[in-house]
Amino acid sequence: MLRYPGPADRTGSRRANLVLLLRTLREQGQVSRAQLAVHSGLSKATVSSLVGDLAQRGLVRPAGTTAGGQGRPGELVELRPSSACGVGLDLNVEHVGATVMDLTGEVLLRRQIACDVPASGPERVLDLLAEALAGVLGDVQARGGWVVGATVAVPGLVDTDGAVVRFAPRLRWREVALRNGLAARTGLALDFFGADNDANLAAIAEHHAGAAAGLDDFVYLTGDHGVGAGAFSRGELVRGHLGYAGEVGHMTLDPLGPWCSCGRRGCWETQVGLGALLHACATPDDPVRDPALDPDSRMALVRARAVSGDRRTLDALHQIGAALGAGVAVLVNLFNPAAVVLGGYFAALPEWLVEPVRSEVAARVLAEGAGGATIVASRLGFQAPATGGAAHALRRVLDDPATVPIEEHTEHTEGMVAP
């Protein structure tokens, strides 16, 4: 299908060029204006003017001069790390948290607050989310930066605007006005806040700088009490018409299986969710099932037992691996992904889960060689959704640097603004 470029107005093309420079700087690190001109295809004069603009907005800074080479040395420019930041807010069964990503795409810091989310109810949890956010706003300010927005990662269905949680069975939330609640608590503007499904945001993080970097077609799986999927097709998330796509945890793969938090029977997450693992590998009073335990410490305990050859743990992992593979095979038949990225707790136990999933997929997928799908563990762990949330929040600057007001950043702009 051909695309028809519309007429580009002058403001639009200047904005597009600012975006282009910002992205080039993000990929290349320290570069001279001449190199920026080569990479962007813009004239040197335009590049100088645009770099001046970005400097006035506090987004770039000088980075010394090029060493060696012929001709006079070029002045290098780089993104100013302590400038615009995005925040990803985590909303989980057992904790809330905040993750900060800076303009270069690096995760600066994280904060986490333990909390029994389903038992606490939405009002109390929104208080804690606002508290976590206030904490990182202070941290960022102390480093000389500022936060441009916050996106909440929700284990459930979020409306297309990112304003309301429609249904999050594991949290026992229905119709929670997340955006209004956070704006009221923080005094920040409504459009500071966004929200999306946790698996979608994690998939964005994996696509940005994770196991799926550069892949147009892949599926990411969250692995927590619930299981969700974020699927990319042609380089974009498959969202569906109301944004509710990817609810893999509630595929009925065993019509006579156990009851699920959604009120139905035999959902896939009753077989492969964290609850199924803990139920299979530990008695109710086992410390590994203590809800106050943070996810990473819990998985460290399970790992240690598996490494030591504990029979009950290994049997549980065997059972989870087979059920995980059966469901992943459905996804591979449907999406023909280049990769399936196992996230959350699955990613903490790759030695025991990846191989069983691979062999189930190879046995159950119609296309030979699983249609070219590789099964890989995420390297972003439980933090993938919040990391994706931060990347998502940061996009308002990356997609339109002119949203950042021009201010006096004299300490940074010296010699950078074109006359």
Residue numbers of the site for a copy of itself (CB under 8 A)? 1-6, 8, 16, 19-20, 157, 166-167, 169, 215-217, 229, 231, 233-234, 236, 238-248, 250-253, 255, 262, 264, 326, 329-331, 333-338, 363-368, 371-372, 399-400
CB of 288 to a copy of itself, least distance (A): 29
Strands 165-168 and 157-158: antiparallel
Burial of 45 (0-12, 13-18, 19+ CB in 10 A): exposed
CB of 143 to a copy of itself, least distance (A): 28
Q: For residues 149 and 398, is the Cβ–Cβ distance under 8 A?
A: no
CB of 5 to a copy of itself, least distance (A): 3
d(CA 261, CA 50): 53
Which residue number, 13 or 141, has a Cβ lying nearer to a copy of itself? 13
The residue type of 251 is M
Which residue number, 293 or 330, has a Cβ lying nearer to a copy of itself? 330
The residue type of 93 is V
Which residue number, 109 or 338, has a Cβ lying nearer to a copy of itself? 338
CB of 25 to a copy of itself, least distance (A): 16
CB of 258 to a copy of itself, least distance (A): 15
Which residue number, 1 or 67, has a Cβ lying nearer to a copy of itself? 1
Which residue number, 94 or 217, has a Cβ lying nearer to a copy of itself? 217
Which residue number, 12 or 291, has a Cβ lying nearer to a copy of itself? 12
Which residue number, 210 or 337, has a Cβ lying nearer to a copy of itself? 337
d(CA 66, CA 196): 42
Direct distance between the N- and C-terminal alpha carbons of the chain, in angstroms, rounded to an integer: 44
Which residue number, 141 or 252, has a Cβ lying nearer to a copy of itself? 252
Strands 75-79 and 60-65: antiparallel
Tokens 């563990």 found at? 377
Q: 209 vs 203, 214, 250, 394, CA distance in Å?
A: 10, 9, 28, 14
Q: 92 vs 80, 195, 361, CA distance in Å?
A: 32, 14, 29
By 3-state DSSP, what share of the chain in percent is helix, strand and coil, each rounded to 5? 45, 20, 30
**Can you state the angle between helices 350-364 and 311-335, rounded to 10 degrees?**
40
